[in-house]
Structure 1
Amino acid sequence: MRATTLRVGNFSGFYGDRFDALREMLTGGEVDVLTGDYLAELTMLILARDRLGDPSAGYARTFLRQLEDTLGLAHERGVRIVTNAGGLNPAALADAVRALAARLGIPVRVAHVEGDDLTARYPGALAAHAYLGGFGIAACLREGADIVVTGRVTDAALVTGPAAAHFGWTPTDHDRLAGAVVAGHVLECGAQATGGNYAFFGEGGALRPGFPLAELHEDGSSVITKHPGTGGLVDVGTVTAQLLYETAGARYAGPDTTARLDTVRLTQEGPDRVRIDGVRGEAPPPALKVGINRLGGFRNEVVFVLTGLEIESKAALVRQQMRAALAESRPARVSWDLVRTDQPDAWTQETASALLRLVVRDPSQEKVGRVLGAAAVELALASYPGFHVMAPPGKGSPYGVFEDVYVPHGDVDHVAVLHDGRRVTVDPPHDTAVLDDVPEPELPDPLPEGPTTRAPLGLLAGARSGDKGGNANVGVWVRSDDAWRWLAHELTVERFRTLIPEARELPVTRHVLPRLRALNFLVEGILGEGVAAQARFDPQAKALGEWLRSRHLDIPEVLL
């Protein structure tokens, strides 16, 4: 008889996450399926470079090392494992897992999902992969797989697949699938749902938060929790923060369904238990996202340390001295950033110093190495007083650029390769819908006027931010209805641009999510050509939300 609840946990949110998490999740409490997310846009580039040197590579090798210590335990407890650790080479990882199981003498059935690799269609690409949905995973599980390895699927597919297999959902069960997508999005980044990277981290357990667990139900609702006794916390705030992470508007589109984030209802059901229900789903869009990673060229940098007085004049001198070398070499891109980390009358030399960062980019490695390797170093005894650099410039290193394109579902051969070698084609969805803009919902009545205090936004609001290609999103939420009445009217696009000067000349879109008491801002182009291009001090915009929280506004005293 099929269980009415499916317990799905997470043991990895990125390539390099806590190594012991898989064992912790297997031993910490009851669980039916464990999911491991290893893939980010940058990870795909890293794996592509691995595969250049070794065609048999291209997957997350740490997963195999984790499994060596835990495969017997998972088999003994009947816990299935679903992971996208296959990266660019899921078939090779599946074979490696079989070999490991044979060596350990553990009988496990291993299946994998393929069809996402479209690299051959894009000349010059190091990796081009479509974001597949969860029904290939579901097919593998329905046929008895104990471990399912995938390549590039959506992060939420690691949960929609097991849920569809367990509950018998079909591709037209949009509301149920949307509920699983939301639960999957909460789980995908591991401890970010249990107090990790949380704006109000002082409220509990940030030292070593446990990994999250979703109790999924047949109607698509779920409860987000964690194993008893583990660190961190699960409350409406931590779940809200993760829901806003790397999303944008009311529609969260994916290959299985489009989840309506404006319908999500969160309820604190008890300590470390948050219920998610009310989620509505719509047909998925007619096209699949394809992430393309290319080599952008070569990058080199040098950071000059400027100490004490006349920081601006010292920076101007360096820039003038470097002008001739840059004009002669003519790298394709040159950027200067002066970071004023210095303090007046400082107690330490470090806090008396500012950093002047010069970055050059060009298709030629020789060019970026020459312009900094010679010209910058030759200033050592002939520039501003106190001259030194953080580190000598190197020869220049390759950097990647990311872009996304879209292809019809039917252009991708989505295949489940079962544990016995049979190949099952996963049909594209029959019903799709072009995404329309969702009208902005009605705002609450403004808070009555009263005395205000100039204070940081973060005293009142939480935030979480992240990257999507060259864009960044910043989700901002508050925890009371009165605070929401103020935030919804105060934090407009214009105010956001004032608080984040980098966004002043960029397209910024504000999305309103009243049920979450949240605003989500999409800032286009702030990350240039994506994280791998390292075009910004914080190339993944991870701390953009914390910068916003540190900015001062006139906040009603009644809220403080």
Structure 2
Amino acid sequence: MTALGPNPDLLRIGNCSGFYGDRISAMREMLEGGELDVLTGDYLAELTMLILGRDKMKDADLGYAKTFVRQVEDCLGLALDKGVQIVANAGGLNPAGLATRLREIADKLGLDAKIAHVEGDDIAARAAELQLGTPLTANAYLGGWGIVECLNAGANVVVTGRVTDASVIVGPAAAHFGWSRTDYNQLAGAVVAGHVIECSTQATGGNYSFFKEIADLTRPGFPIAEIRRDGSSVITKHENTGGAVTVDTVEAQLMYEIQTARYAGPDVTTRLDTITLSSDGEDRVLISGVVGEAPPPQLKVSLNSLGGFRNEMEFILTGLDIEAKAELAQKQLESWLTVRPAEIDWTLARLDRPDADTEEQASALLRCVVRDTDPNKVGRTFSSVAVELALASYPGCSFTSLPGNGSPYGIFTAGYVDADKVPHIAALPDGRRVDVAQATDTRPLDAVDEPDLPEPLGTTTTRRVPLGTIALARSGDKGGNANIGVWVRTDEQWRWLVNTLTVEELQRLLPETAPLTVTRHVLPNLRAVNFVIEGLLGKGVAYQARFDPQAKGLAEWLRSRHIDIPEELLA
């Protein structure tokens, strides 16, 4: 295979997008900021597929990330001049349509750009046949080998549909180094590098627990992975950009949206419990020692369906007797409704404090969310009735919004299908179409036994302080489940954390998780424990079961909870 970059033993991959809506100027910033071989972008998430599905329902020519089109129109000439290849999953539900649009842009700009795309992930038309129901969208997570075919055919730009987030990094690395399908350790190393940089500035200080340690977080730079032939990598960023790359900022992203110690993908299963992180200089972190295994025999499938319609009204409760006021409002509204929605959920957020200096600090919020398959049951027949309480309910009754109609909401579920039932097609720049074989060397995704734990600390004097005094954490969503990864910096802190922060202790600290199934996974190399909380997010982000539907703040809530920590660990 032909090497893509000037150095056969190193590939510099930068990322310029972590989601559909990320910094629009990032592609130009990355191309102008320093040397790169490949520039990637991740535009897809569970909610994004639903958004793109609705776009495509309105216009069959859409279904891709429109912001990516704007970025390429601005930067294609610059990328070609610098010899930087662009690989992105911005094709969403219509990678072929996006490739056609990009060719039109290249022609308009007078540029000789070789455009390729990867497809086959969209299996919505076959969902019922594959026992996946009748969703709006159904996309299997493909791997990086279709990208390899496109790059080896000389593509300057490769766009894909639903590949795994890390595949846009794994594909260029596998092509550059000529890795085989069974070079599992190298592929796993690239997966880890890809997982770190695919969420853009979350690797350079964004959403980082100890953010006050970073000198300049005004405008963090985007991350770069310098991947080596053996699969190890250094995470860094362009010089003179904001943010920071440290062992902890990298670990923060490693903890994001993971589950067990086996991180499954279509090309390789990555053993997260083998990762070693070490400093390689200022704004440089070495990732090494990653072990890979054969992938599982099935591919994960992202399924999005229209669940129905939802609406909400939020009452402001001020001053005394907050709970009694909430009880009255709830009783009145439910008894006044002439048509009852299928679901009525009430949440009382006690943001008030006694003897408050401002009216806002003396107020709580009572939120009522309704859902139904019939939009009329959650429209003004609900919200207007809520407003009718204004002069007939608790003292000081008011609302945060005017009455309105309901809006559609989606439901995400994960499905699984045998890999050999999903096509994987590389549409090359010259028009040829190559069928890419799915993995045949596979291994069932078994659980990892919990490792031997270090001896707990002996009896010592403790102080009751927030867990976040010494612990960092990161949380995220996977469908209706949430994860919280928690880690510490020293071996002594680790001895305390792993023996103290059990499932039972987490459920005590976060009472909302108490009735749910919670599992803990131990990652000693990273001094980390990861908790998976099943069902906390209902039926996925679009269902909006919580005011924090993607569990972004869940880790910070945990860090704010008070716990007895040994004095010696607080020094």
Q: Same fold (TM over 0.5)?
A: yes
Q: Which runs of 5+ in 1 are unaligned?
A: none
Which residues in structure 2 correspond to 1:372-451 (within 5 Å)?
A: 372-451=382-461
Report the AA paired with residue 126 of structure 2: R
Q: Which residue of 2 aligns with 1:241?
A: 252
What does the per-residue CA deviation read over 1:85-135, in whole Å, with 9 as the maximum and x for residues that have no partner? 100000011011110011011111000000000111235311110000000
Pair 1:214-2:238 in alignment: no
Following TM superposition, by how much is the alpha carbon of 1:449 offset from its aligned partner in structure 2, in angstroms? Answer: 1.7
CA distance in 1, matches of 2:119, 2:461: 60
Following TM superposition, by how much is the alpha carbon of 1:521 offset from its aligned partner in structure 2, in angstroms? Answer: 0.2
Q: Which residue of 2 aligns with 1:363?
A: 373
What does the per-residue CA deviation read over 1:276-314, in whole Å, with 9 as the maximum and x for residues that have no partner? 110000000000000100000000100000111111111
Following TM superposition, by how much is the alpha carbon of 1:81 offset from its aligned partner in structure 2, in angstroms? Answer: 0.3
Deviates more, 1:120-129 or 1:23-32: 120-129
Pair 1:307-2:318 in alignment: yes
Q: Which residue of 2 aligns with 1:532?
A: 542
Q: Which residue of 1 aligns with 2:504?
A: 494
Following TM superposition, by how much is the alpha carbon of 1:374 offset from its aligned partner in structure 2, in angstroms? Answer: 2.8
CA distance in 1, matches of 2:380, 2:197: 46
CA distance in 1, matches of 2:45, 2:219: 23
Q: Which residue of 1 aligns with 2:44?
A: 39
CA distance in 1, matches of 2:368, 2:302: 30
Following TM superposition, by how much is the alpha carbon of 1:445 offset from its aligned partner in structure 2, in angstroms? Answer: 1.6
Deviates more, 1:123-132 or 1:178-187: 123-132
Runs of 4+ aligned residues of structure 1 deviating over 3 Å after TM superposition are: none
Which residues in structure 2 correspond to 1:113-132 (within 5 Å)?
A: 113-122=118-127, 124-132=134-142
Decide whether the 8 Å contact of 1:460 with 1:478 is kept in 2.
Answer: yes
Following TM superposition, by how much is the alpha carbon of 1:430 offset from its aligned partner in structure 2, in angstroms? Answer: 1.6
CA distance in 1, matches of 2:221, 2:143: 27
Q: Secondary structure at the match of 1:344?
A: coil
Report the AA paired with residue 335 of structure 2: A
Output the TM-score relative to the length of structure 2: 0.97
CA distance in 2, matches of 1:460, 1:544: 17
Q: Which residue of 1 aligns with 2:341?
A: 331
CA distance in 2, matches of 1:330, 1:260: 49
What does the per-residue CA deviation read over 1:173-194, in whole Å, with 9 as the maximum and x for residues that have no partner? 1110000000000011000000
Q: Which residue of 2 aligns with 1:93?
A: 98
CA distance in 2, matches of 1:61, 1:137: 21
Following TM superposition, by how much is the alpha carbon of 1:325 offset from its aligned partner in structure 2, in angstroms? Answer: 3.1
Deviates more, 1:489-498 or 1:337-346: 337-346
CA distance in 2, matches of 1:499, 1:42: 29
CA distance in 2, matches of 1:484, 1:373: 51
What does the per-residue CA deviation read over 1:220-276, in whole Å, with 9 as the maximum and x for residues that have no partner? 000000001111111110111111100012100000100000000111011110001
Decide whether the 8 Å contact of 1:258 with 1:282 is kept in 2.
Answer: yes
Deviates more, 1:103-112 or 1:64-73: 64-73
CA distance in 1, matches of 2:514, 2:62: 43
Decide whether the 8 Å contact of 2:380 with 2:403 is kept in 1.
Answer: no
CA distance in 1, matches of 2:316, 2:342: 25
Cα root mean square deviation, aligned: 0.9
Q: Secondary structure at the match of 1:15?
A: coil
Decide whether the 8 Å contact of 1:300 with 1:393 is kept in 2.
Answer: no
Deviates more, 1:332-341 or 1:118-127: 118-127
Following TM superposition, by how much is the alpha carbon of 1:42 offset from its aligned partner in structure 2, in angstroms? Answer: 0.2
Q: Secondary structure at the match of 2:329?
A: helix
Report the AA paired with residue 510 of structure 1: R
Q: Which residue of 1 aligns with 2:329?
A: 318
Output the TM-score relative to the length of structure 1: 0.99
Report the AA paired with residue 8 of structure 1: I
Q: Secondary structure at the match of 2:555?
A: helix
Match of 2:161 among 131, 151, 156: 151
Decide whether the 8 Å contact of 1:133 with 1:256 is kept in 2.
Answer: yes
Decide whether the 8 Å contact of 1:325 with 1:371 is kept in 2.
Answer: no
What does the per-residue CA deviation read over 1:467-504, in whole Å, with 9 as the maximum and x for residues that have no partner? 00000000000011111010000000000000111111
Following TM superposition, by how much is the alpha carbon of 1:323 offset from its aligned partner in structure 2, in angstroms? Answer: 2.3
Following TM superposition, by how much is the alpha carbon of 1:371 offset from its aligned partner in structure 2, in angstroms? Answer: 3.7
Decide whether the 8 Å contact of 2:295 with 2:441 is kept in 1.
Answer: yes
Pair 1:281-2:292 in alignment: yes
Q: Which residue of 1 aligns with 2:130?
A: none
Pair 1:256-2:267 in alignment: yes
Q: Which residue of 2 aligns with 1:169?
A: 179
Match of 2:16 among 11, 15, 33: 11
What is the number of residues matched between the two proteins? 559
Q: Which residue of 2 aligns with 1:102?
A: 107
What does the per-residue CA deviation read over 1:311-362, in whole Å, with 9 as the maximum and x for residues that have no partner? 1111111011112134x42211111000011121212111111100000000
Q: Which residue of 2 aligns with 1:351?
A: 361
What does the per-residue CA deviation read over 1:353-409, in whole Å, with 9 as the maximum and x for residues that have no partner? 110000000001001114423311111111111111000231100000010110111
Following TM superposition, by how much is the alpha carbon of 1:435 offset from its aligned partner in structure 2, in angstroms? Answer: 1.0
